[in-house]
Amino acid sequence: MKILMVCLGNICRSPLAHGILQHKANEAGLEWEIDSAGTNGYHNGEKPDPRSVSIAGIYGIDITYQNSRQITVEDLDYYDIIYVMDTSNYNNVMTMCTSDSQKDKVKLILNEITPGANEAVPDPYYGGDKGFENVYKMLDEACEFIIKKA
Q: Is 18 left (phi over 0), alpha (psi -120 to 50) or beta?
A: alpha
Size of the site for ligand 4NP (CB under 6 A): 10
Q: Which of residues 33-52 bind ligand 4NP (CB under 6 A)?
A: 42
Compute the least distance from the CB of residue 150 to ligand 4NP, in Å.
25
Query: Who contacts 42 (Cβ-Cβ below 8 Å, separation ≥6)?
Result: 9
Q: Based on CB atoms, which residue is closest to ligand 4NP, 7 or 63?
A: 7
Q: Say whether residue 123 binds ligand 4NP (CB under 6 A).
A: yes
Burial string for 52-76 (b: 16+ CB within 10 Å, else e) reads bbebbeeeebebeebebbbbeeebb
Q: Rg of the Cα trace of the chain?
A: 14
Q: Is 19 in the site for ligand 4NP (CB under 6 A)?
A: no
Binding of residue 125 to ligand 4NP (CB under 6 A): yes
Catalytic residue check, 7: yes
Chain CA centroid to CA 41, Å: 15
For 18, the enclosing helix (H) or strand (E) is helix 13-27
123 a catalytic residue:
yes
The Cα–Cα gap between 17 and 102 comes to 21
Give least dist CB 43 to ligand 4NP, A.
Answer: 6
Stretch that binds ligand 4NP, among 8-16, 23-31, 103-111, 112-120 (CB under 6 A): 8-16
Interaction between residue 108 and ligand 4NP (CB under 6 A): no
Q: Does 11 bind ligand 4NP (CB under 6 A)?
A: yes
Binding site for ligand 4NP (CB under 6 A): 7-13, 42, 123, 125
